[in-house]
Each structure stands twice: as C-alpha cells, then as structure tokens.
Amino acid sequence: MAALTAADRGREVRHRLLRAGAELIAERGWSAVSTRALAERAEVGPGLVHYHFASLKALLAEAALGAVKGLVDELTGLLETAPTVQEALDGALGALDAYTGRDTTSLLFTETYLAASRDEALRRDLEVVLARIRDSVAGRLRRDGVVADPEETAAVLLAALDGLMLHRPVHPGLTSAGTAPVLRRLLSRTDSTGDAEGGS
C-alpha cells in the first residue's frame, strides 16, 4: 500500500476535526466546545485546529452545516425519486424516525439552530442550505399540481419536520405513523382559491 501523501494526511486531519466538532457540539453545546477539547477528541495537536481552519468558530460551523447538508441531501433524494408527493412525504417521515431527538444528529441540529439565532453569518449559511430543500419541495409540489401555494406549503411542511425532531425527546410518540395523516392534509389537492378540492 502506498504511503499517504501530505495532502492525504491533511484531509484526514480535517475530517477528524470536523467529526470531533460535530460530536462535541451535540454533547456539550456549541459554546462549550474548546480548541483543547476538540484536539483531544480528534487526537491531534491543538495547533492543527488553527492550521486547518481560520478559527474554532469556522470549524464548528463547517461541521454543523456539513451534517445539515447530509440530511438535506438524503431528503432531497427521497423527494426526487418518490413516485408521488404523498410517497415522498411518507419516505421523509420514515427517514426521520431513525432520529430519537437524543441522538447526535438531532442534538447537533438543535444546537445549530440555536447558535444561528445568535450568529448572523451562521444563520445566512444555514438559510442557504435549507433553501435548497425548500425550493425542491416547492418545485415538486408545483410540478404535481398538488397545492395552489407551493412555496408557502413547502415552508410550513419543512418547519413541521424540523419541529418533529425538536419535540421528539419530550414526545416520543411523534413518529411517522402518527404524524403522516396530519401532514398529508397539507398536501390535499386544492383549487386556485385555496379551498380543498371537493369542499363547499
């Protein structure tokens, strides 16, 4: 096996630091992560944190946004491949059932949203990531002609999915089986006036 190049080693260190950052945000909260704790978790010298990243804050933002992008990409893939919008919703809810609200990903999301409420740069970056899936959902709703207001419906639907992850630690019953029928009502076919099709 060929020896690792300096570039390979650098990428490996960055990966370890980002993974450690994501874990520590979930475990301790954004503001409680220190350079020393991060370096210890990644098993590297503290100086490498600032060698590979402009600041600790920049490292944590990249780690958190990377996790958000991963889940967004997963849900976007379900949206693009599902035969119908209803099946896309069922698939997304089923995927979210894997998150208990106390797992690393759920806690990382919660901490990232909280940090974004206090950090304008992080808020802007998070909005860019979330806009991708919101636009994808709205586009799918528009193509399928499911609702008269696809942009607004997409925003509310995604806020509801976020809320499920936020509430699940205190309300474990918020699973796909219980929530799917409620959320499907958002996707009831409507006419141009916004009244449910078949309604009076």
Domain 57-187 in CATH 3.40.50.720? The answer is no
More confident residue, 123 or 181: 123
Q: How far is CA 170 from CA 100, 101, 163, in A?
A: 10, 8, 12
Tokens of 133: 């899936």
More confident residue, 142 or 59: 59
Mean pLDDT of the chain: 86
Polymer length of the chain: 200
**Residue pLDDT, tens place only, 132-165:** 999 998 988 888 887 778 899 899 989 988 888 8
Among 187, 87, 86, 195, residue whose Cα is nearest residue 146: 187
pLDDT value of residue 199: 42
Burial of 2 (0-12, 13-18, 19+ CB in 10 A): exposed
- 3 pLDDT tier (thresholds 50, 70, 90): low
Decide if 172 contacts 100 (C-beta within 8 A): yes
pLDDT value of residue 55: 94
Decide if 18 contacts 41 (C-beta within 8 A): no
Mean pLDDT lowest among 62-66, 107-111, 154-158, 172-176: 172-176
C-alpha torsion sign, points 121, 123, 129, 132:
negative
pTM of the model: 0.82
